[in-house]
Amino acid sequence: MAKIKPSKGAPYARILGVGGYRPTRIVPNEVILETIDSSDEWIRSRSGIQTRHWANDEETVAAMSIEASGKAIADAGISAEQIGGVIVSTVSHFKQTPAVATEIADKLGTNKAAAFDISAGCAGFGYGLTLAKGMIVEGSAEYVLVIGVERLSDLTDLEDRATAFLFGDGAGAVVVGPAQEPAIGPTVWGSEGDKSETIKQTVPWTDYRSGEVAKFPAITQEGQAVFRWAVFEMAKVAKEALDAAGISADDLDVFIPHQANERIIDSMVKTLKLPESVTVARDVRTTGNTSAASIPLAMERLLATGEAKSGDTALVIGFGAGLVYAATVVTLP
């Protein structure tokens, strides 16, 4: 029986560079209030959101991804030709096939990089990061580009008082490459499909195509159920990720949770008993909920503003539709 030659990858992987892109149009709460019966104070108190970015016709999923990726590649100090894999997490690319990752890989100038899309909602960045780490350690790629990108304004029902104010657009990207010491911890991830009705698309595309419904599909959610799940269950997952990495909350420098809602973020900080010295990402205030893009966008902003620095130890956790989740500890680029 023939023996298969073992893979020769790097001993470990790390994030080497990060980039982000936010659409040029900034949308304040006042615009949202034109179509729902609410108030600026109510929106801010329930979510922390003050503004969000909405894409124009030219700011497509691919275009935003390319902008964010170019910055991440430059930040990593490599060339696009060195990228061996492109992973795109999104739920708002409306062409079923081919994967938008293939277009991005080509336009960036990669040398025929492996390219594919994943759909894991707001946990998508964590899923992509885990896959990239595996590719590098396994040896199938030296550098992998992980992109979280959404145009959720296309899937927002502006008459839905529970969700109209939540969503924004944007793209965040990181380059993952080889490392000589651990810099991406074990991932704690999973799914709870029995709760899938709490965050979902209103109707299937086929119902809209057949004319059974006249209104374009949108994302809807059961706010209180999602809040309870995120606060109580995801704090447990975050603690498991800390334990898996062999550190405690006291060892953290930065906390970058999915930017779903500032009340959820505050509750997780309290439950995890994070020290006041830990920098907490609150990009949700001006970017809204950008699903798969929220963690890399928040990471990019913290580093750009100096609130976080290279080498800091950060806990990242994403959670959302599915219901799915992924948490890990990383060293910031």
Alpha carbon distance 179, 15 (integer Å): 9
> Token pair for residue 135?
């590719």
DSSP string, 203-270: S-HHHHHHTS--SPP-EEE-HHHHHHIIIIIHHHHHHHHHHHHT--GGG-SEEEE--S-HHHHHHHHH
Residue identified by tokens 């706010």 is 223
> Token pair for residue 90?
């999104």
Decide if 111 contacts 139 (C-beta within 8 A): no
Q: Is 93 a catalytic residue?
A: no
Q: Where are the beta strands (DSSP E) in the chain?
A: 12-21, 25-28, 51-54, 83-89, 114-118, 143-151, 169-179, 188-191, 199-201, 219-221, 254-257, 279-280, 313-320, 324-331
If one counts every other C-beta atom within 10 angstroms of the C-beta of residue 84, the result is: 22
> Token pair for residue 301?
């902003």
Tell me the residue type at 283.
Answer: D
Q: Is 258 a catalytic residue?
A: yes
Distance of CA 168 to the CA centre of its chain: 12
Judged by DSSP in three states, 142 sits in coil
Q: Is 53 a catalytic residue?
A: no
Decide if 169 contacts 53 (C-beta within 8 A): yes
75: left (phi > 0), else alpha (psi -120 to 50), else beta? alpha
Decide if 265 contacts 324 (C-beta within 8 A): no
Q: Which of 29, 53, 93, 122 is catalytic?
A: 122
Q: Which of 29, 53, 93, 258 is catalytic?
A: 258
> Token pair for residue 7?
């893979």
Q: Name the residues annotated as catalytic.
A: 122, 258, 289
